[in-house]
Structure 1
Amino acid sequence: MNRALWYPSEERIMHANMTRYMYFLKEHYGLDFKNYDELYIWSISKRADFWATLWNFFDIKASPYETILENPDNMLESKWFQGARLNFAENLLQFKNGTALIFKGENQEIVRITYKTLFEQVARLSQSLRNAGVTVHDRVVGFMPNMIETVTAMLATSSLGAIWSSCSPDFGTKGVLDRFGQIEPKILFTANGYSYKGKKIDSLSKISGILEKLPTIEQVIVIPYTESDVSLPSAVEYEDFLSKSQNLPFEELPFDHPLYILYTSGTTGVPKCMVHGQGGTLLQHLKELILHTDLKREDTIFYFTTCGWMMWNWLISSLAVGSTVVLFDGNPFYPHPGALFQLAEDTGITIFGTSAKYLAEIEKAGVNPGNEYDLHTLKAILSTGSPLSVESFEYVYKYIKNDVQLSSISGGSDIISCFALGNPINPVYAGELQCRGLGMKVEVFDENGKSMTGEKGELVCTASFPSQPIYFWKDDNKEKYQNAYFDVYPNVWLHGDFAEITSNNGVIIYGRSDATLNPGGVRIGTADIYREVESFPEIQDSIVIGQNWINDVRVILFVKLREGIHLTDDLVNRIKKSIWENCSPRHVPSKIIAVTDIPYTISGKKVEIAVRKIVESKPVYNRDALANPKALDLYKDMKELQD
């Protein structure tokens, strides 16, 4: 059992939203739960009742529903809250007082806007979109930095019942077209550029190439961000596009009306377009933000993300709580490795979200945020993107703050939310996600489809939930949807994570299932190896794959060394010894090879599968989905892998 690093105080438990919800259940429904485990078991055994209580607890702004759950035993065909009508944007714009958004761009002053101003801006833009012919079900897209106008555009779009989709401006032209080209948008929002590592990067040249291949675009709106020049033929500047009307009627729409289109990574083929409904997204996000993250009206929440990652959608739902949302555009290490903690100090962030990779990098850079910055407001740190190592857990409590709820969270764009995440009334154990999410019947299956605890296997979900995709784009017979999640275990969502449910009822994620290694026929996760390798100060980064070799699979470890370091026999032997002693003999790489770069997706995930395909001389599709696609060429035809 991993050791506990943090226990919530009695006062913290008493004032937690999770505790308040349990009191609510006792007072209004006569349900008395002594702890989270009891609450969780009820939430998955009485799913319809559970989600209905959340509807009332959160006071969703909507008309009454007729049924809570139809087709409960069919994950593909379940229908939630039929008959109810609501508007997502209306639920996020209920508050009129307080600061709604804080924006910080590289080399720019902090900008703050109130809920009142945000409402007025959304109203003006909504009317402008209506005047431009945008109606229910039309697609409006953003090729935008993470800035206030992006949030405004999304809310204006959803106020009309149109569908919002976005790509980060660091996507290549092909990557954007692979996504937007499928959904045929009517309106495109873009900034004229974005900032990264102190450099201003032009976006308009990309937009010209994108527009040539997107004939459905009827209007382009350009926000002047990096320069005052927004010259683009047939485009209109944002301020000129805005209507003067501040009247904001909201289209009242069904619970499962489409809200967002998100995309798979696209590294194994053309990205699949997942359509998420407004009601399921709202209800699930409120559950995770209010109950699991303990978000309150007075909180200031931040997540380091781009607009091309689902964490952006998740973050913006915090507006429904009336909290202050902090947006950041730029490189998290610019102008120095502690830049995000400086932002936390300057804006009074209480909930700080980032990636496991970021925490590992600042540890290696020797950043001591607890000593270097005033973090007295900070009460929680969230991490996602990849498994958070035990060492990173310990680093947070030793060098950032010893009294924070550290929530490693895991889910995906597929569900626009989490399967496992934090819990403000339970301890934090090193290396573990605190709990499975309420209402999410998450299990770990062995190779025979049998549920197990304390063993590694496939993470699955065995019952439907409101934030499943309502459908895949242009997938009328649901063939893509079926094949994506349900083709291994009938009527069971196979998520693709290699995981374990612990004796603490927490969850450990060992990596992606398709990236697991099988030396000698035994499955092992990549996270164990990364944990050992990246503890070496000589190693800046690494990636591990399984190479098919003489009727077996051998483990190959690629390492990116720090400047001035060479891969000596001594370093190789020390790495292998550490893996042998702390993982197992099966984890020990057959070969350790130095490379100059490690390929990542734009959202910061290592691409083990793409590297394995290159090593095996197989094609890799959609390289534009990668942040550094040229890095893949380093792994082609390696002499070291020929023997």
Structure 2
Amino acid sequence: MKQPLWKPSPERKEQTNMTDFMRLVNDRFGKNFSEYDELYAWSVENIEDFWALMWEYGGIVASKPYDRVVDNLDDMFNSEWFPGARLNFAENLLRFRDDRTAMVFKGEADEQRRISYRELYDMVARLAKSLREHGVGIGDRVAGFMPNMIETVAAMLAASSIGAIWSSCSPDFGFQGVMDRFGQIQPKVLFAANGYSYNGKKFDSLEKVSEITKSIPEVEKVVIVPYTESNPDLGGIRGAVMLDDFLAKEQGLEIEFTQLPFEHPLYIMYSSGTTGVPKCIVHGAGGTLIQHLKELILHTDLSREDTIFYFTTCGWMMWNWLVSSLAVGATVVLFDGSPFYPEPGALFKLAMDEEITVFGTSAKYISAAEQFGVKPRENYDLEPLKAILSTGSPLSVDSFHYVYRDIKEDLCLSSISGGTDIISCFALGNPNGPVYSGELQCRGLGMKVEAYDLEGKPVVGEKGELVCTAAFPSMPIYFWNDEDDKKYLGAYFETYPGIWHHGDYVEVTENGGMIFYGRSDATLNPGGVRIGTAEIYRQVEAMPQVADSLVVGQEWDNDVRVVLFVKLEDGTELSEDLIKEIKTNIRKNATPRHVPERIIQITDIPYTINGKKVEIAVKRVIHGEDVPNKDALANPEALDLYKDIPELSA
């Protein structure tokens, strides 16, 4: 029998929000639940009752109550949640307006900056007034090309208070990467910092901002936030204005929170771009709110007394998730820069200084911290820390042991997994449950998650495809510019009609947890950052030396490394200069994370009969696995070229 690495004391378990919620279920529905598995089973068998109670328990602020919990529950794609309700997302995140600290921002080598809930409300009020005066209304897009800083959150809240739709990109994205995203949604206003810092170096953003505004004529106003310098030159940027000049001057403004339907669009997120330019995934305000409240309050055990941190950029969905902590009244810690600068333990020093209680990061960061020899338990006082969250890629068994050995013995280590697609989690933490090495603690309440075998049947204790067999509120409301929902249906409902198919290879364990084995599709996941192969192909195949290419993720050193195979034009060899040129091209036009660790020359690229590259088949070959269904390939003999390649064993 597998032994847990940690389990909560009876006293700790008694005090969690999960226990409090369970008591409410017992009282309201005449149950006698004492264990999470019982509560979970009830939540997926009584979906309407569960989400109605979560609305109440989360204290959702609405000007008009809902008529029904859900319409068309049995038709997953066409379900509609909380029809009749009118609410505003920003109003829910700004429900606290006192002098407690709302956010702390820490730039790499900068002193912390703080803002109270009262000051945040005032900043958002002034921003919202200015946005309205510049013609921003319901459904307009407002975009952020910003570091993870206070102003980014305030701009998002101001936009959503009006009913505009927010979308953001990390400033390390190259011009083409930004255009592939913002170029599709055509924002009216763009917020951008003048630059950002990473690993002790400052990088200018204004040249890219200028290119963006020239290429997206719909951008009417660019609001520049000074970060790496106080008085940047805005001369080359059409419609640019400094933040201080944009902000309304009045003090004590009241925000006019536009009341909107539950499924009004809030965020546009982006798929990884595996099969072309990234798909624009539109998430609704109500679904995002209620799902995040469930995950933060129940699964993370977050309250007003907590200080929560997540190491993320504002281009990753964990930023959106983190920011929703404002609705709970917690203190949110934002960080921008390298997590290992100016010292390997920089983030744990931040945790000590700010008395962080919930520390979120990626599996790659935890692995790297161990490799750097960081021993927080010896060097930092982490007494307040009660939970570590990890996501992005599966957390290795070694990393589980590292956390309890070298970080802290008494904490809940919650590996969590979901995605941009649902702006939330399918599996995550349980403050009332044990932690087993290599496992995510539980499936999320109200999320009817299964592992399907090859015959489409649910299995326990065996590997299978992650599916969700019942509707949930944070499904995307639609994809941007997706006629007849073709892209949406193709993304999630093609494999199992009427059932959400996520593209993760998983196992539901006997004790109710989950093990994730990585992506079952062609999405790359190095260091927990989802990368689409198409974003690499667009850069590489535009080069005259390259005839064709194929990119896969290789499991390596408890992570995934990107491997690029190139078929070169006749007479061309893969020289060091050409490798450098390929990497520079990818870094400049995508992001540094897209740059392959291995570039290997190959003489043929395998394709299906209908002309699709077979990345998954090549991935199986380089991992020594069999490839089924070779009959679907136009040139199956090409797969033999990928066997036993020396460069992939070092």
For normalisation by structure 1, the TM-score amounts to 0.84
Paired residue for 1:189, among 184, 188, 191? 191
Paired residue for 2:135, among 133, 136, 152? 133
Paired residue for 1:161, among 156, 160, 163? 163
- Which amino acid is the alignment partner of residue 43 of structure 1? S
- Which amino acid is the alignment partner of residue 60 of structure 1? I
Question: Take 1:642 and 1:115, find their aligned partners in 2: how far apart are those partners?
Answer: 58
- Which amino acid is the alignment partner of residue 103 of structure 2? L
Runs of 5+ in structure 2 lacking a partner?
A: 528-551, 570-581, 604-640, 646-650
1:488 and 2:490 equivalent?
Answer: no
Task: Assess if the C-alpha contact under 8 Å between 2:175 and 2:590 holds in 1.
Answer: no
Give 1:53's aligned residue.
53
Task: Assess if the C-alpha contact under 8 Å between 1:423 and 1:435 holds in 2.
Answer: yes
Task: Assess if the C-alpha contact under 8 Å between 2:181 and 2:278 holds in 1.
Answer: yes
Give 2:620's aligned residue.
none
Give 2:9's aligned residue.
9
CA gap of 1:262–1:640, structure 2 versus 1, over 3 A, is closer
Give 1:32's aligned residue.
32
Task: Assess if the C-alpha contact under 8 Å between 2:197 and 2:336 holds in 1.
Answer: yes
1:606 CA drift (Å): 4.2
Task: Assess if the C-alpha contact under 8 Å between 1:140 and 1:162 holds in 2.
Answer: yes
1:280 and 2:287 equivalent?
Answer: yes
Question: Take 2:290 and 2:112, find their aligned partners in 1: how far apart are those partners?
Answer: 31
Paired residue for 2:366, among 359, 372, 376? 359
1:627 CA drift (Å): 2.4
- Please give the root-mean-square deviation of Cα atoms over the aligned residues, in Å: 2.5
1:238 CA drift (Å): 0.1
- Which amino acid is the alignment partner of residue 290 of structure 1? I
* Superposition map of 1:563-642 within 5 A: 606=560, 611=563, 614=566, 624-631=589-596, 634-637=599-602
Give 1:180's aligned residue.
182
Paired residue for 1:465, among 472, 483, 487? 472
Give 1:271's aligned residue.
278
SS in 1 for 2:602: coil
* Superposition map of 1:195-594 within 5 A: 195-232=197-234, 233=237, 234-245=239-250, 246-514=253-521
Question: Take 1:319 and 1:636, find their aligned partners in 2: how far apart are those partners?
Answer: 50
C-alpha distance after superposition, 1:251-279 (max 9, x if no partner): 00000000000001124321000000000
Task: Assess if the C-alpha contact under 8 Å between 1:2 and 1:431 holds in 2.
Answer: no
Task: Assess if the C-alpha contact under 8 Å between 2:416 and 2:428 holds in 1.
Answer: yes
CA gap of 1:494–1:640, structure 2 versus 1, over 3 A, is closer
Question: Take 1:516 and 1:415, find their aligned partners in 2: how far apart are those partners?
Answer: 16
Question: Take 1:399 and 1:410, find their aligned partners in 2: how far apart are those partners?
Answer: 24
Give 1:72's aligned residue.
73
Question: Take 2:195 and 2:526, find their aligned partners in 1: how far apart are those partners?
Answer: 37
C-alpha distance after superposition, 1:376-421 (max 9, x if no partner): 1100000001000111001100100000000000000000000000
- Which amino acid is the alignment partner of residue 289 of structure 1? L
1:59 CA drift (Å): 1.6
Percent identity of paired positions between Structure 1 and Structure 2? 61
1:86 CA drift (Å): 0.2
Q: Say which is worse superposed, 154-163 or 469-478, in terms of deviation.
A: 469-478
Q: Say which is worse superposed, 24-33 or 359-368, in terms of deviation.
A: 24-33
Question: Take 1:396 and 1:615, find their aligned partners in 2: how far apart are those partners?
Answer: 43
1:11 CA drift (Å): 1.0
Question: Take 2:555 and 2:46, find their aligned partners in 1: how far apart are those partners?
Answer: 47
Task: Assess if the C-alpha contact under 8 Å between 2:124 and 2:155 holds in 1.
Answer: yes
- Which amino acid is the alignment partner of residue 245 of structure 2? D
Task: Assess if the C-alpha contact under 8 Å between 1:121 and 1:152 holds in 2.
Answer: yes
Task: Assess if the C-alpha contact under 8 Å between 1:511 and 1:526 holds in 2.
Answer: no
Runs of 5+ in structure 1 lacking a partner?
A: 518-524, 528-554, 561-578, 580-604
Question: Take 2:561 and 2:371, find their aligned partners in 1: how far apart are those partners?
Answer: 22
Give 2:628's aligned residue.
none
For normalisation by structure 2, the TM-score amounts to 0.83
CA gap of 1:10–1:630, structure 2 versus 1, over 3 A, is closer
* Superposition map of 1:100-119 within 5 A: 100-119=102-121
1:328 CA drift (Å): 0.3
Task: Assess if the C-alpha contact under 8 Å between 2:308 and 2:357 holds in 1.
Answer: yes
SS in 1 for 2:224: strand
C-alpha distance after superposition, 1:477-524 (max 9, x if no partner): 11100000110111111101010000111000011112699xxxxxxx
1:107 CA drift (Å): 1.5
